[in-house]
Amino acid sequence: MKKVLIILMVVVMAFTISACDAGNKDAELVDVTTEQGINIKLPSDITLQTINGVPYYANLETGDNVVFTVMETYEGLFNEFTEENVLALYQTNYSDTSLISFSNDTKINGKDALISKITTTTTDGNNVTIAFVMVITDSTTYISNFTYGTNDNNSSLANNIDTCIESITIN
C-alpha cells in the first residue's frame, strides 16, 4: 500500500501545475489513445506534452492537465483505497484539502472503478480540483488524475470532466 501511495503522490506532484483563467470552455472533445492503452475523450485544447520524457496531457495556458499511470493489480488493492486513504494522498503535500466526492462501487464501461474528487491548494497557492480515477482489470490498474482550477469557469476540462471520465475505455 505504501509503495502505491508513494507512486501516486510522485505522479500527482510532478504534474499538478498552476491554473489560470484563460481556458476555452467550449473546446470540442476529441478521441485520444494514451501510451498506457487508455481510450478517452479529452477537450481539444488539452494536448500531449512531455516532461523529462514522461507523457501527459495539458493545456499550457490554463494549467489543466491529465496524467495517466498503469500498475499491476494485486489482491486487495481496490479495497485499500478508502475515502481516508485517497484524502491522505493529497493532504501530506497540499493545504486546505477537502474530499468532494468518493465512490468505489461504480463501473466505467463495464470495469470496476473508483472515482474521487478533491479540492486543494497547491504549494504555489492555486486552488485546484483533482479527479482521481482508478479503473481495474484482472491484472492491471489504470489510474487517471485530472487537475483543473477550482474556480475556473472557462476550463474545458472542468466543464467536461464527467464526460471525460465516463468515456474511459481500456484497450
For the stretch 45-95, pLDDT in tens is 999 999 999 999 999 999 999 999 998 877 777 777 899 989 998 888 888
pLDDT in tens, 140-166: 999 999 999 988 878 999 999 999 999
What's the CA gap between 35 and 107, in Å, rounded? Answer: 22
Which amino acid belongs to residue 92?
Answer: T
Q: Please determine, for residue 5, whether its predicted confidence score (pLDDT) is greater than 50.
A: no
**In this structure, which topology does domain 2-170 adopt according to CATH?**
Protein Transport Mog1p; Chain A (3.40.1000)
Q: Which residue has the higher pLDDT, 112 or 13?
A: 112
Q: What nine digits make up the cell of 51?
A: 516532461
- Per-residue pLDDT of 83-132, as tens digits, reads 998 999 888 888 899 999 999 989 999 999 999 999 999 888 889 999 99
Kindly state the cell numbers that stand for 162. 464527467
Cα separation, 21 vs 78, whole angstroms: 35
Predicted pLDDT of residue 137:
87
Q: Is pLDDT of 25 > 80? A: no
Phi-psi region at 114: left, alpha or beta (left = phi > 0; alpha = psi -120 to 50): beta
The grid coordinates listed for 105 are 462501487
Report phi then psi at 160, rounded to 5. Answer: -125, 15
pLDDT of the residue at 152: 82
